[in-house]
Structure formats: structure tokens, C-alpha cells
Amino acid sequence: MSELITEQHGDALWLTLNRPHKRNALSMALSEALIAALEDARDREDLHYVVLRGAGEHFCAGDDISEMPQWGNANQVMRRVRRYQHMTNVLQELDKITIAAVDGMAVGGGLELTMASDFVIATERARWGMPEVDVGITPGWGGTTRMARLIGRRLTKEVNLIGALHGARRAVEAGLWNRTVPTGELDDSVNALLEVMRAKNHQAVRQLKYIIDRGVECDLETAQGFEALSGALTAAVNGWWQVADADQGAGVAGFVAKSALWRQRRGLAQHFWAQ
């Protein structure tokens, strides 16, 4: 059976990690399949949502540690870690809303997948943590970086340096996940969220996701620049696009046709102060 099950329901793509006998640990094959599915979703405009979940009773127990000796030497390990960073970066940067539906274990790489998602809904029995320290390794694609941005430096150190497994409610209280739901109601809760989101203006949702994710990584003034430009784009896509001193596409059309406007602009500029 495929280690990744892909199902499309309307404008939502459901991706199910399918290694229940391994608590859906990320094998190299499963990781490559997930990367391919996310890249395909990235390039599609018919999808507005991606739901990530695990088969059986667990979300994802992280990397398949038994495969790590196959990763190779230090340089090859670095290349694989960067490959997995690409996986979570693609997930985070999708112009779709992403939902991690968590049941059971979400540790290590599994927790890192949730941190790259827009929404995380977990059952009350879900458990999370970064136990890499007790294997003598360090997280590679978000366990220190995204986590510190989500819940702060001090708690990130506690999670990583101790390696304990925590209950789902603490993840919500810390701001790591969004909601807990009773066991058995996970899919219904995801579908309820999808219903709410489908009522939105999809372009506005795309813009909001983009400016939030970009703004949090820069200073306040730069982030507010994103907000201002997003406001202008919102006006344009809602029909208020005409600006009196903009040429409303005449520049591009003029270049194609080599119009008088194009010849005037290039004639004035081409050799002006040129050395």
C-alpha cells in the first residue's frame, strides 16, 4: 500500500500518512511522497485547502530512526535535512489554508509538520514533544526555529532540552496548536472549520496568510508596508483598480506594439546620463 494516501474532496486535498504500524514515522519514501504531493498542491489553483492527518491512532512519530544509518555521511545528512526543510517550507508557504488533524503522537518531525500548518486541531488524547535529545540528535526543520517563533525561547528550550511528552491542552495554552476536540470528533471538527473557511473571500484569505507569515519575520515598519500594499491589492481585486496617474496596462501593450508611448519613454530614458 502507498505510504501516503491522497484524496481530493472538492477544493480540499486530504493527505494521510499511511504507516500505522510505525506510528506513521516519516520514512525516506514517505517523505519524498509528501514532498511531491505538496509541490503538486502548490502548483494547482483548483485547491484551496490541504488537510494533513495520520492513519490509525497516531498523527506522526517523527523520522523513522531505524533508517537514519542509511542517510550517509555528514554532508549527505545535511543535504537530507535541507530536503526536509524544503518539505515544511513548501507546506508553510502554500497559498492554500493548511490544517493538521492530530490524533495520538505528534513528536519530532510530526510536531514540525504541525508547526508549518495554518491550523492545528488535536484530539484530547494527542501527545506532543521533541524527544530528539534522548537519541543524541537535534531537530532539523522547525523544532527549534519555528517553535521559538510560536511559543518563545524559554518554553522551546524546555521542550527540546528535556524531551518530555506533553498533553494536547498544553499545546493550545502555549499557542502551539489551536483547539482540542473529543476523540472521535476530529474529522467532523476539520470539516466544520472547512465549512467556515469556504464562506470567505479566498483572495483575502491568501493575502492575509501571506502578510502574516512575512510580517512576523521582519520589523514593524516593513511589516506595515506589506499591510499597506495588501490593502491596495484588496481594493484592486474588488474592482477599485483604476488610478488616475497609472497607465492601466498601456506600458505593456505599448512595448508589444512598439507604440508612440513606448518610443517616447525609451527615447527619453535610454541614453539619459548613460556612460
Query: Please, which pLDDT band fits residue 72 given cuts at 50, 70 and 90?
Result: very high
pLDDT at 237: 93
- E strand intervals along 160-241: 166-167, 179-181
In tens, the pLDDT along 191-230 reads 999 999 999 999 999 999 999 999 999 999 999 999 999 9
Catalogue the active-site residues.
Answer: 112, 132
Contact 90, 114 (CB under 8 A): no
User: In the CATH scheme, what is the homologous superfamily, with its name and number, of domain 4-198?
Assistant: 2-enoyl-CoA Hydratase; Chain A, domain 1 (3.90.226.10)
pLDDT for the residue numbered 1: 72
- pLDDT for the residue 275: 84
Cell numbers placing 225: 508596508
The continuous run of DSSP H or E covering 14 comes out as strand 12-17
Percent of the chain having pLDDT more than 70? 100
- pLDDT one-digit tens code per residue, 19-55: 999 999 999 999 999 999 999 999 999 999 999 999 9
Other CB atoms within 10 A of residue 165 CB: 13
Distance CA 194, CA 188 (A): 10
Distance CA 132, CA 23 (A): 16
Q: How many CB atoms lie within 10 A of CB 102?
A: 31
Q: Tell me the pLDDT tens digit for each residue of 85-124.
A: 999 999 999 999 999 999 999 999 999 999 999 999 999 9
Write out pLDDT tens, residues 265-275: 999 999 999 98
Query: Would you tell me how many other CB atoms lie within 10 Å of the CB of residue 111?
Result: 31
Given this model, what pLDDT does residue 188 score? 98
Record the cell numbers describing residue 15, joined without a space. 493527505
In 76-197, DSSP assigns E strands to 97-102, 105-107, 119-123, 127-129, 166-167, 179-181
268 Cα distance to chain centroid: 46
Provide DSSP, 142-163.
Answer: STTHHHHHHH-HHHHHHHHHH-
Q: Which residues pair with 166 in a beta bridge?
A: 128
Q: Which residues make up the CATH 3.90.226.10 domain(s) of the chain?
A: 4-198
- Segments of 63-164 assigned E as strands: 97-102, 105-107, 119-123, 127-129
CA dihedral 211, 213, 216, 219 (to 10 degrees): -50
Cell 474529522 locates to 187
**Given the C-alpha cell 504500524, which residue does it identify?**
21
Q: Find cell 472521535 and name the residue.
A: 184
The residues with which 98 forms a beta bridge, in sequence order, are 50
CA distance 250 to 134: 63
